[in-house]
Amino acid sequence: MKKLLTLILYCIPAFVAAQDSIFTEIMKKTISTMDTSSTKYGLHYSANTFERIGNTIKSEWLPFYYCAYCYVKINYMVKDDDEKDLYIDKATDLIFIAEQIDPNNSEIFVMKGFILQARMKVDPMTRGFKYNSDCLSMFQKAKELDPENPRSYLWHGVNLLNTPKFFGGGKDEALPLLKKSIEKFDSFKPKSDIHPNWGRPYAEEMIAKCSK
């Protein structure tokens, strides 16, 4: 009995390591598929895969995070406002699950702000006043949790770029944050191959837009 227990205890780390390796490989492949998807249907496929992974390995926040990201991206591909809201609602539900798993995660707060930006963009005149303050607070919280996270500066800058000057936004307000995001991207190292590492090309695009 003692020998059997010793064998089991010896095998547990190897079993856990094997599970982690399988999870990482599946996530890497799905992230790659997502990154190369340029259609609504391709992103749907990635979103469904991420959600299945998350429902199988319930202790991991990353599948739900990426699933939410897919739905925000799909929202920008459709034209009907009601359909946009459906995808934004899905993203909101999924990032809520991710937050329950890891409540003090800078990337999750960036995604929450990113989702609110998408919701505002459906109807800026009506929703801007309702959601903008909450959106900015998400990016601020993301910076507090991880001052080195470049995406918090990027999307804060994008928010200001899309805010009218008489409400405290505009190019002059946005540009320092966008440049700061590039500085952070230069030194940023994701925790692993499957942790968030996106956004730099868009930051460069927004800086170019500010320079026009």
**Domain that residue 121 falls in:** 105-212
Q: What per-residue confidence (pLDDT) applies to 212? A: 74
Contact 182, 203 (CB under 8 A): yes
Q: Which of 103, 124, 144 is the last residue of a domain?
A: 103
Q: Are residues 54 and 111 both part of a single domain?
A: no
Q: Are residues 96 and 112 both part of a single domain?
A: no
Q: How many domains does the chain have?
A: 2
Q: Are residues 125 and 161 both part of a single domain?
A: yes
39-83 pLDDT per residue, tens: 999 999 999 999 999 999 889 999 999 999 999 999 999 999 999
Within a domain: 202: yes
6-17 pLDDT per residue, tens: 433 344 344 444
Q: Are residues 130 and 53 both part of a single domain?
A: no
- Of the two residues 24 and 10, the one the predictor is more confident about is 24
Q: Are residues 112 and 185 both part of a single domain?
A: yes
Contact 122, 129 (CB under 8 A): no
The DSSP secondary structure of 95-106, one letter per residue, reads HHHHHHHSTT-H
Any idea of the CA torsion for 96, 100, 106, 108, to the nearest 10 degrees? Answer: -20
Within a domain: 19: no
Q: Which of 103, 132, 167 is the last residue of a domain?
A: 103
Full-model pTM:
0.90
Q: Are residues 98 and 112 both part of a single domain?
A: no
Within a domain: 20: no
